[in-house]
Structure formats: C-alpha cells, structure tokens
Amino acid sequence: DQQVKQNSPSLSVQEGRISILNCDYTNSMFDYFLWYKKYPAEGPTFLISISSIKDKNEDGRFTVFLNKSAKHLSLHIVPSQPGDSAVYFCAASATPYNTDKLIFGTGTRLQVFP
Amino acid sequence: ETGVTQSPTHLIKTRGQQVTLRCSSQSGHNTVSWYQQALGQGPQFIFQYYREEENGRGNFPPRFSGLQFPNYSSELNVNALELDDSALYLCASSSTQGGKNIQYFGAGTRLSVL
C-alpha cells in the first residue's frame, strides 16, 4: 500500500523554465512533508519542508505548496537550472519531531536541459 | 556533505550469508535511522535508534537487526541473506532544530546478493 505517491517517474524541463513536481498521499494523519533531492552515488539531501498548518513554504528558487483537502503537494523550481537535474523524493511524517518513520514516494527524475 | 558516513560503499554477498553495514552519524546527532532503497523505489524505513535503544521499526523481518553505540555510530545486521535484500542501504542521522527534525543521509551501501 503506497501511502505517498509520485505518479510521474520523470520530467524534462528547459533551463530557465518552471519545474513542477507532484506528490499525493493517502494517510490523513500525515502532518509534515519534506522534499529530498538525490544525485547519483549520493544520499538524499533535504531540500524543503512544510507542515500542515501552512499551504505554502518558500526557500529561494524552491516553493512547496500543500493542498490538505486534496492530499496533494507540489514542488516548484523557478527558474530551473541544469544543476537541478536529480531524482526528487517526496516524504511524509505524522509529526515534525520524527517520532515516526518517514514514508517516501518512489521519486521523480528531473532533467533540466539547456 | 552531510557528515554521515557509511561503510563499505559496495558489498557482494551470497544467499544465506550474513552482513554488517556501518554508519557514522553527524556530530551531535543522537538518532539514527536505516532505510532500504530497492531499484526504482523510494527509501523504505527499516528501524530507528535513539540513545542506543530501538525507537520504531518498519515492516522488516527480525533477521534485520541493529545496534547503536555510545558515540551514536550504528550498525545494520542482516542474517540469512535473500536475493531480494539486494538494495541500497541508507543511514540517516538527525537532530531537532527549531522544533523540526531533519534527517541527514549518508551516501549508502549498495548490497548485491547473488
């Protein structure tokens, strides 16, 4: 039972344009959401997070939007850069204090081309 | 660079053997979590250790066991290896900052079971 779903396995975007990565979840107990980026031969790197009391969190070129009623979140990258090419994982937790495990999606491979 | 180091980077074992994977946490982090990432999947939570005690376990059989040492380094042991145990094993250490707990991942150990 996949509680966190990333339905797009890959995305290709031109440099300078917006990249939108989507994530859906099924467990209404999830209260805290994170995005991780993973380069080949490296571990996932924390990118940005959002708690359920917010619907938007912004950090530089990265913005995460949360729609609790739809159980949907998205990561926007503007403008996209070739160095953003990586696999992006959405993850969820029932608490920001990590007393529960992180549940990860299957990832979306983003390719930013010149 | 997250400060979380894992060894070895690659390992080849045969079915039925036992394996020990090691993780050195980032300085100051007292919590360590282990994840299994199969090919094409997101990381799956195995278990978490906090101050040398198991603090949560995912849906993995008892032949997956762990240890955390007083210096917060950790081991993952897998007995009676099966072919399906072939995966990337990720260690993540964490601390609470500003009421939020962020996990920092190592680069992983890639285990191949033949």
- How confident is the model over A58-98, as pLDDT tens digits? 999 999 999 999 999 999 999 999 999 999 999 998 765 55
Task: Tell me if chain B has a CB within 8 Å of the CB of A45.
Answer: yes
Could you tell me which of B77, B93, B88, B92 has the C-alpha nearest to residue B41? B88
Residue type, A40: P
- Across the interface, of B42, B44, B103, the residue whose CB is closest to A98 is B103
Mean pLDDT of A103-114: 96
Which two tokens mark B87?
Answer: 């995966």
**What value does the mean pLDDT of chain A take?**
92
What pLDDT sits at residue B94? Answer: 83
* CB within 8 Å of A40: residues ≥ 6 apart: none
Q: Is the pLDDT of residue B61 over 90?
A: yes
Check CB contact of A32 with chain B, cutoff 8 Å: yes
- pLDDT recorded at residue A8: 95
pLDDT value of position A97: 58
Whether residues A44 and B107 touch (CB distance < 8 A) is answered with no
Closest to B59 in 3D by CA, of B49, B46, B50: B46
Give me the sign of the Cα torsion angle B23, B28, B32, B38. Answer: negative
Q: How confident is the model at residue B99 (pLDDT cuts 50, 70, 90)?
A: low
**pLDDT in the model for residue A7:** 93
Residue in B43, B56, B58 closest to A44 by CB: B43
First to last CA, chain B: 32
Please spell the DSSP secondary structure of B23-39, one letter per residue: EEPPTT--EEEEEEE-T
Contact predicate A67/A55, CB 8 Å = yes
